[in-house]
A and B are shown apart, each in its own frame.
Chain A
Amino acid sequence: MKIALRELHGNSPGYYLLLGGLALVTLIGLGAAWYMEHHGHIVTGMTNQIVWGLPHVFAVFLVVAASGALNVASMASVFGKTEFKPLAPLSGLLAIALLLGGLTVLLLDLGRPERLIVAMTHFNFKSIFALNIILYSGFMGIVIAYLWTMMERSMNRYTPLAGLLAFVWRIALTTGTGSIFGFLVARQAYDSALLAPLFIALSLSYGLAVFVLVLILACRGSGRPLGDALMARFAKLQVIFIAAGFYFVLVYHLTNLYFTKHHDFERFILLDGGLYTAMFWLGQILLGSVLPLVLLLHPRIGQMRRRIAASALLVVGGGFAQMYVTIIGGQAFPLVLFPGRQVSSSFYDGVVSAYLPSLPEWLLGFGGIAIAGLIVLLALKFLGFLPERLDDAACQENNVTRVPPPASETA
C-alpha cells in the first residue's frame, strides 16, 4: 500500500478559525513593523548597546529551525531512511515556511527595510551576512526544486540529487547563521569557531521539534492517523539531537572556563547575570535539554504521544531561551577594552546593558511565526502535502526498515 498525499478536505470551522487567527497575528505583526519603521527604533527597547533585540531572537530561531526542519526529508532522500519518504514534502514545506517567517522578521527589523533592493544588489562578499542572504535565497529555490522532484512523478528520479544538494546547502546555511556570531572577534560571547557546529546541532533539535509539533497538530486536526512506530522514531532522533546540542554548549562553556580572559563573561552567564543566568539554567538547560531528555527516555512517565509533544514544546521554549542568552546576553556583557580594569563612560562602557523588549518587538516576532503558520496551513489545504495515513500498518508496508518493539502503552 502506498501512502498517498492529499490536501485537506472538508470545511472544518477549526481550520478557518486558526487561519483567521494567524492572519490577524500576521497583520498585527506587520502593523508593529510599520510603527517601528515610521517612528524609528526609539519605540523599541533596543539601544546602542543592545542593537539586536527580541525580533532577532525570533528570527534566528525560525531560520535555524527552518534548516533543521528539512532534516526529515534529508533522511529520506540522502540517508536512505525510506520510512520518512511520505513526510519529505511536509518537511520541505515547513523548511520554506519557517525560513520565510524568520526572514520577514529580520527584514522588517532593519533600520531601512525599504532598502531590501539595495541589499539584493550590493554585496560585500566578505560579509557572512551577505553570504547568508545568498544562502537563504538559494535555499528557497533549491527546496522548491526539491519539492518539485518529489511531487512530480516524472522528476522522481532526480529526488536523491536534489535532496543531496538541499542537504549540503542547508549545512552551509546553518554554518553561515552560526558564523554570523562566530566571526565576531569583538565580543567575549562570540569569537568562536564552535558556534557554527553548535548551530548545526541546534537546527537538528529545533527543526525536529517544530516538525513533530506541526505533524501532530495537522494529523489531529485532519483526523488522519499517526502511528506510534513513527513517533517512536522521532523520539529517538530528538534525544540524539538534544544531546548533540547540549554537548556543544558544554564544550563551549568548559573551554571558556579554561580561559582566564573569559572568566568574567562566564561568571556573568552562569552565575550573576540575573535574567540571563536564569534563562540559561532554567530555560536553556533545564527546560530545553534536561527535562525533554527525561521525558523521552524515562520508560514510564505517561503516554508516549503526550511525552513527545511535551518534549517538543520544551525544546522550542528552551531554544528561544538559548537564542535570548546568546544574542541578547552576548551584547549585554560589555566590551573589554582594558582587561582587568574598571571602565566607565557616558556610553555605558564597562556595565552590563539593560534591555526590556517592547510590545512592537513581541508583535513582530509572533507575526513571523504566524506567517510560517499561514504558509503551512494554506499549503496543506490546497496542495497535497500531508500523508493520508501514517499509522503503523501503512508505515510498515511502506518500507519501514525495522519494526519497533510493541509499545507498552497505547497512543
Chain B
Amino acid sequence: MKPEPSPDCTETPETKDSRRGFLTVAVAGLAGIALAPGVRLMEIAQAAPAATPAGSMPTIATLPTAQAASAATSASSGANPQVRWGMLINSGKCASGCTDCVTACNTENGLSGGTLPTDSQWIRKLEIKEIKTGKIQSLPMLCQHCAEPPCVDVCPTGASFKRADGIVLVDKHTCIGCRYCVIACPYGARSFVHEALTDQKPDVPRGKGVVESCTLCVHKVDKGENTACATACSDAGHGAILFGNLNDPHSDISKRVASYPSRQIREDLNLNTGVRYSGI
C-alpha cells in the first residue's frame, strides 16, 4: 500500500457545504423517525397494567411434565433432560395406502389435511420402490427430532429450538418466517403456513407466516399421553409406530431398539435422530 498522498478527489466548497447541510438535515430527520416510535411504545408499555393474569396460556416449554415411570416431575420445571423422547417405526408393519397416522395427526393438530403444494403436512406416507425389483415399501416420514438438528443450527432468531428432552419445536413468537429451516431440513419435515388459519386447536399454536413441523404431540406428551399417530396406528391394530423414552432402558422402545436392528434415515449425516426405523 502506498502512503496516502494529498487527496486526488477534491470537492468545491459549495459542494461540501451543501453536502453537509443535506446530511445534517437527513441524519436529524432519520434519527427522529427512528426514535419516535420507540419512545411512544415505551410510554404505552409503562402505562399498561403489570403482569399477565393467572389464567393465561403457558408456553409449551413450561407445561408441567407429568410422566409415568422414569421421568421426575415438578409443576413448572419444563422439559426433563433425563428423558429422550423417540419413536421406532416398523416399516414392515406399515401398509401401502394406509394413512391412519396422517389422519390422526391432522385431526389432533388442526391441519387441513389438504395436499396442495402449499398445504402443511406434519407427517406423510412415503412409498419407496426398489427400481430393479419393483418391491414397494411404505413408511411415515415426519420430523426426526434430531439430536443435532440442522434446522436449529440455521435459524437466525433461535425460534427453531430443541427441548431438553429432545423434542424439536418452533417458537411461534420468535419465528420471522425466513424459511431457511425448511430448506435446511434433510427430511423435508417443515412446512410454511401460506395463509391465515381458522379452527385452530387451543393446544397447538400455529400462525400465518411462520414455519411449523411435527411437535411429537408435545402437548399430549407433557401430560403423560402418547402421540396421536402412534395411538391411531395401534388402535387400528397395525402397531407400526412405537413412541417412548429412549433414555429409559425399561421402556418398550428401548428394549426393542436394543434387541432388533433399526436404523435412521440419512444416517450418514450423523444427526442422531430421535425417530428410528426398522425393516428398511
> A: which residues have CB within 8 A of B?
2-7, 37, 39-42, 46-49, 51-52, 78-80, 82, 85-86, 88-89, 110-113, 115-116, 118-119, 122-124, 126-130, 133, 150-151, 153, 156-157, 159-160, 164, 180, 183-187, 331, 335, 337-338, 340-349, 353-354, 382-384, 387, 398-399
Q: Does B178 contact A (CB under 8 A)?
A: yes
Q: Which of B124, B178, B187, B269 contacts A129 (CB 8 A)?
A: B178
Distance of A351 from chain B, by nearest CB (Å):
11
| A118-B174 CB under 8 A given contacts A6-B11, A124-B156, A345-B125 | yes
Q: Does B225 contact A (CB under 8 A)?
A: no
Task: List the B side residues contacting A331 at CB < 8 Å.
Answer: 183
A363 vs B51: C-alpha distance in the bound complex, in angstroms?
A: 44
Q: Which of B150, B159, B182 contacts A185 (CB 8 A)?
A: B150
Q: Which of A110, A164, A349 contacts B176 (CB 8 A)?
A: A110
Contact B182 A48 (CB under 8 A): yes
A48 vs B180: C-alpha distance in the bound complex, in angstroms?
A: 12
Distance of A336 from chain B, by nearest CB (Å):
8
Task: List the B side residues contacting A85 at CB < 8 Å.
Answer: 8-9
Q: Does B40 contact A (CB under 8 A)?
A: no
Chain B residues 175-209 with CB under 8 Å of chain A are 175-180, 182-188, 190-196, 208-209
Chain B residues 6-50 with CB under 8 Å of chain A are 6-12, 15-16, 18-19, 22-23
Q: Does B117 contact A (CB under 8 A)?
A: yes
> B: which residues have CB within 8 A of A?
1-2, 4, 6-12, 15-16, 18-19, 22-23, 102, 115, 117-121, 124-131, 141, 150, 152-159, 173-180, 182-188, 190-196, 208-211, 265-266, 269, 280
Q: Which residue on chain B has the smallest CB distance to residue A383?
A: B19
23 contacts between A and B (CB under 8 A): A4-B10, A5-B9, A6-B11, A40-B193, A42-B195, A48-B119, A111-B176, A111-B178, A112-B210, A118-B157, A151-B11, A160-B4, A164-B1, A338-B128, A341-B129, A343-B126, A344-B126, A345-B127, A346-B102, A346-B115, A347-B115, A382-B19, A384-B15
A182 vs B81: C-alpha distance in the bound complex, in angstroms?
A: 32
| A51-B209 CB under 8 A given contacts A127-B153, A185-B150, A345-B127 | no
Q: Which residue on chain A has the smallest CB distance to residue B269?
A: A185
Distance of B170 from chain A, by nearest CB (Å):
11
A151 vs B184: C-alpha distance in the bound complex, in angstroms?
A: 44
User: Which of B18, B130, B158, B185 has its CB near the most chain A CB atoms (within 10 A)?
Assistant: B158
A41 vs B118: C-alpha distance in the bound complex, in angstroms?
A: 9
Main secondary structure of the interface of B (DSSP, over half): loop
Q: Which residue on chain B has the smallest CB distance to residue A48?
A: B191
Q: Which of B120, B121, B159, B188 contacts A335 (CB 8 A)?
A: B188
Q: Which of A3, A133, A382 contacts B9 (CB 8 A)?
A: A3
Sort A-B residue pairs by CB-CB distance and give the 7 closest, nearest first: A111-B177, A111-B209, A47-B117, A186-B186, A51-B179, A129-B156, A130-B156
| A119-B129 CB under 8 A given contacts A4-B12, A382-B19 | no
Task: List the A side residues contacting B141 at CB < 8 Å.
Answer: 337, 345, 347, 349
Contact B178 A382 (CB under 8 A): no
Extra contacts, 7 of them, besides A4-B10, A337-B188 (Cβ < 8 A), are A40-B209, A116-B176, A180-B180, A184-B150, A184-B184, A186-B150, A347-B141
Q: Which residue on chain B has the smallest CB distance to residue A330?
A: B183
Task: List the B side residues contacting A52 at CB < 8 Å.
Answer: 179, 183
Contact B11 A4 (CB under 8 A): yes
Contact A347 B124 (CB under 8 A): yes
Task: List the B side residues contacting A353 at CB < 8 Å.
Answer: 117
Contact A123 B118 (CB under 8 A): no
Contact A133 B156 (CB under 8 A): yes
Contact A335 B187 (CB under 8 A): yes
Contact A186 B183 (CB under 8 A): yes
| A184-B117 CB under 8 A given contacts A2-B10, A3-B8, A341-B128 | no
| A40-B131 CB under 8 A given contacts A6-B11, A118-B174 | no
